[in-house]
Amino acid sequence: MRKSLMLLVFLGTATLHAADPYVGTWKFNAAKSVSTTKAPPPQEVTILIEEQGEGLYVALTGTAANGTKMVNKFSGQIGGTMKLVESQYESITTKSIAPNIRELTYVVGGKEVSWQHAILSGDGKTLCLVTRGVNQQGAFAETVQVYDKQ
């Protein structure tokens, strides 16, 4: 009886600490993605999200349309400023809007330059990144990038 109770308590605790639903490897799906600019989409992008302590480690790597390398790596807890590992941004802050929606804010030169909603589908197989802000050419852009879980 005591062993059963201990196991039940352990399983209940394990359920409370279930993996973050965003954890996994995500591949860019150009066919499902759209942009308000005429710029071509990236050649390829992979996002790796891993649990790290009580937070997450995020590594975005890929190749831009012009062939240049894309890298943005950061870690931390959702609901605060992330620790930058390798990034073109000065800071990235995050917050949870809903169980399946997170907001990221990107800062360069002391100014917020873009905002992103990361929306996870109900089945957990599709990640949609809706981004609004200033692109590398200094013009306002809005993109919807779709990623498929691998």
| pLDDT tens digits for range 32-51 | 999 888 778 899 999 999 99
- pLDDT of the residue at 136: 67
10 is a domain residue: no
Q: What is the pLDDT of residues 85-95, one digit of tens each?
A: 999 999 999 99
DSSP state of 81: B
Structural domain contains residue 65: yes
Interval 116-130 mean pLDDT:
98
- Domain CATH for 123: 2.40.128.20
d(CA 102, CA 122): 14
Spatial neighbors of 65 by CB under 8 A, at least 6 apart, are: 39, 40, 41, 42, 43
Residue found under tokens 């993605």: 33
Q: What's phi and psi for 82, nearest 5 deg?
A: -85, 155
Q: Judge whether residue 13 has pLDDT over 80.
A: no
Q: How many residues does the chain have?
A: 150
Residue 109 one-letter amino acid: G
**4 found inside a domain:** no
pLDDT in tens, 14-26: 344 568 999 999 9
Q: Taking all residues of the chain, what is their mean pLDDT, rounded to a whole number?
A: 88
Percent with pLDDT over 90 in the chain:
75
| Domain membership of residue 109 as a residue range | 20-149
- The confidence band for 11, taking pLDDT boundaries of 50, 70 and 90, is very low
Residue 140: inside a domain: yes
